[in-house]
Chain A
Amino acid sequence: MGFSGGSLAVFTALAPAGAVAFALTTMYLLVHRDTAAAVRDRMNHALIVPLAVAWAGFIASATHLGTPANALHAVEGIGRSPLSNEVAAVVAFLFAAGVYWLYTFKLTYSRRFANTLAVASVVACAAMVAMVALAYSVPTVPSWDTWHAPVNLGLAALVGGVSLGASIMRAFRPETGRWHACALKALPPLIVVLAGMMACHALFLTGISNNVASAADVVPSYVVSIVVFSALASTGWFMQRKSAKAAGLRACAVDVCGCVLVLSSVLVSRLPFYASYLSAGF
Chain B
Amino acid sequence: MAYGFYFDSTRCTGCRTCEMACKDYKDLPADVAFRRVFDYEGGSCSLGADGTATCDAFMYHVSDACNHCENPKCFAACPTGAIEKDEDGIVFINQDTCTGNGACVDACPYGVPILVKEENKAKKCDMCRDRVAEGKQPICVEACPLRALEWGDLDELKAAHPDAVAGIAPLADPSLTVPSLLIKACPAAKEPGDATGFVANELEI
Contact = CB atoms under 8 A, between A and B. Distances in A.
A223 interface: no
Nearest to A213: B202
Contacts of A4: 101-102
Given A139-B176, A140-B73, A212 B199 contact: yes
A2 B173 contact: no
A139 B73 contact: yes
A130 to B, nearest CB: 17
B106 A3 contact: yes
- Which interface class (under 10, 10 to 19, 20 to 34, 35 or more) fits A? 20 to 34
Given A211-B169, A281-B111, A81 B102 contact: no
B80 A77 contact: yes
A279 B109 contact: yes
A77 B105 CA distance: 17
Nearest to B167: A281
Interface string B74-108: 00111111100000000000001111111101111
A174 interface: no
Nearest to A73: B80
B79 A77 contact: yes
B198 interface: yes
Contact of B172 (A3, A87, A140, A277): A140
Contact of B107 (A65, A80, A141, A210): A141
B102 A82 contact: no
B98 A70 contact: yes
Contact of A65 (B100, B110, B170, B198): B100
B1 interface: no
A71 interface: yes
Q: Per DSSP, are chain A's interface residues mostly helix, strand or loop, or mixed? A: loop
Contact of B103 (A71, A73, A81, A211): A81
A282 interface: yes
B47 interface: no
A73 B97 contact: yes
A15 to B, nearest CB: 16
Interface in B117-134: 117, 119-122
Contact of A281 (B78, B171, B195): B171
Contacts of A68: 99
B172 A73 contact: no
Interface string A63-91: 01111101101101100111110010000
A280 B79 contact: no
A139 B111 CA distance: 14
Contact of A280 (B40, B103, B173, B199): B173
Contacts of A74: 79-80, 99
A112 to B, nearest CB: 37
A145 to B, nearest CB: 10
Contacts of B193: 211
Nearest to B177: A140
B115 interface: yes
A81 B82 contact: no
Contacts of B119: 66
Given A138-B107, A211-B199, A280-B109, A73 B101 contact: no
A81 B76 contact: yes
A2 B80 contact: no
18 contacts: A2-B105, A65-B99, A65-B101, A66-B102, A76-B79, A77-B79, A81-B79, A81-B103, A83-B101, A87-B79, A140-B177, A211-B40, A211-B170, A211-B194, A211-B195, A212-B170, A277-B106, A279-B109
Given A66-B101, A76-B80, A83-B78, 13 more contacts: A2-B105, A3-B103, A4-B101, A65-B100, A66-B102, A71-B99, A73-B82, A80-B81, A83-B79, A140-B176, A209-B195, A211-B199, A281-B171
| List of 7 A-B pairs having minimum Cβ-Cβ separation, nearest first | A66-B100, A66-B120, A281-B172, A281-B109, A73-B80, A76-B81, A83-B79
Interface of A: 2-4, 64-68, 70-71, 73-74, 76-77, 80-84, 87, 138-141, 209-212, 277, 279-282
